[in-house]
């Protein structure tokens, strides 16, 4: 019902539910975009690249253990040191950094996008509020950031896994010559579906990042309160390292089996009919222990990797945002 303009009342325009919903979504997106900061992307990318360049050999070891399901074609390793020594003897330093290119691209992009989306979503959620976000809100923000990041980067992780699982030391006999070659061949032979192998367990894996970021944020908040510090006050590197390590170990211990499932789905040497088939066959052939293969090298790798990433991120983001704010003022 609308009133006449002449009777002094306010005219009310009615809209269809569809147009109202469209406006609402558009408004929310615009509101979210106001909180986007490229500095977070650059800082996260920097942290991811640095940590991956340092620790990639341990990632290679972790994946080779994760897919170790008894196939004769796979090399047999007696532990982390034996695996690294065997790869070094057969292929040298280049062998230990097999798959490093997509790993660096993937880790850099993943950490950059994760911090990019996470901080934007977190700021959007907190807009207009004086109170800090709750643990649940940190968890949800991190999970949403993880889903967006995974959707963009999953093809890179597939190529990394495929490159790492090339066991032949002769470059001419390898199926994939590099990251771009792997992307092209996977797409040609398996289509888009091939590039998104492991995506479903990867979605579950977003709970890993969500739990990690929730724990990290809660540890930071409780620690700053304990020290009577301002919430945004900078901590020293050792404090960042401690919180990053504790939050990472908590997340790894909680969610590691999905990484085994994901790696096996992406493995070119074995064929599974989906997540359920991987879980069933792994349980039948290897028991519960099969879901934790490679967790040793993974913890050894991801804990320092996480510490490096977070320390680099916190310092680079503060540097960039500080310069940005100084320019504005």
The answer to whether residues 266 and 157 touch, using CB atoms and an 8 Å cutoff, is: yes
The answer to whether residues 191 and 89 touch, using CB atoms and an 8 Å cutoff, is: no
The answer to whether residues 310 and 244 touch, using CB atoms and an 8 Å cutoff, is: yes
The answer to whether residues 207 and 255 touch, using CB atoms and an 8 Å cutoff, is: yes
Give pLDDT, residue 10.
42
Residue the block writes with tokens 């085994």: 260
pTM greater than 0.85: no
CA distance 300 to 294: 10
CA distance 56 to 37: 28
Q: Which of 276, 278, 301 is nearest to 290 (CA)?
A: 278
Give the tokens for residue 123. Answer: 């700021």
- How many other β-carbons are positioned within 10 Å of the β-carbon of residue 290? 20
Burial of 36 per CB tally in 10 Å (0-12, 13-18, 19+): middle
Give pLDDT, residue 12.
41
Distances (CA, A) of 158 to 143, 185, 263: 21, 12, 9
Q: Which of 38, 45, 157, 160 is nearest to 111 (CA)?
A: 45
Which residue numbers in the chain have pLDDT < 50? Answer: 1-23, 323-329
CA distance 187 to 216: 37
Burial of 124 per CB tally in 10 Å (0-12, 13-18, 19+): middle
- What is the separation of C-alpha 149 from the centre of its chain, rounded to a whole number of angstroms? 7
Give pLDDT, residue 85.
87
pLDDT by residue (tens digit) across 49-95? 888 888 888 888 877 777 776 676 677 777 778 888 888 888 888 88
């Amino acid at each position: 019902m609308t009133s006449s303009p002449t009777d002094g009342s306010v005219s009310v325009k009615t809209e269809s539910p569809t147009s109202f919903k469209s406006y609402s979504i558009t408004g929310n997106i615009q509101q979210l975009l106001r909180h986007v900061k490229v500095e977070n992307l650059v800082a996260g990318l920097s942290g991811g690249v640095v940590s991956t360049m340092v620790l990639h050999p341990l990632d290679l070891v972790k994946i080779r253990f994760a897919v170790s399901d008894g196939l004769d074609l796979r090399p047999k390793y007696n532990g982390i040191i034996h695996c690294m020594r065997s790869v070094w003897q057969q292929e040298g330093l280049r062998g230990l950094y097999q798959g490093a290119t997509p790993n660096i691209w993937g880790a850099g992009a993943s950490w950059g996008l994760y911090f990019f989306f996470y901080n934007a979503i977190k700021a959007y959620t907190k807009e207009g509020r004086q109170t800090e976000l709750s643990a649940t809100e940190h968890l949800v923000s991190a999970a949403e950031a993880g889903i967006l990041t995974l959707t963009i980067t999953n093809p890179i992780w597939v190529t990394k896994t495929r490159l790492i699982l090339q066991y032949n030391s002769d470059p001419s006999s390898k199926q994939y010559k590099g990251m771009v070659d792997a992307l092209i061949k996977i797409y040609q032979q398996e289509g888009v579906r091939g590039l998104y192998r492991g995506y479903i367990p990867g979605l579950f894996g977003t709970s890993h990042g969500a739990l990690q970021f929730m724990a990290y944020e809660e540890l930071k908040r409780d620690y700053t309160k304990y020290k009577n510090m301002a919430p945004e006050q900078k901590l020293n590197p050792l404090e960042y390292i401690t919180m990053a390590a504790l939050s990472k170990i908590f997340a790894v211990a909680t969610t590691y089996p999905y990484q085994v499932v994901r790696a096996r789905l992406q493995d070119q040497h074995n064929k599974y009919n989906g997540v359920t088939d991987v879980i069933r066959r792994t349980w039948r052939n290897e028991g519960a222990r099969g879901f934790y293969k490679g967790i040793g090298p993974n913890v050894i790798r991801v804990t320092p990797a996480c510490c490096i990433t977070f320390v680099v991120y916190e310092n680079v983001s503060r540097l960039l945002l500080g310069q940005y704010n100084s320019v504005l003022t």
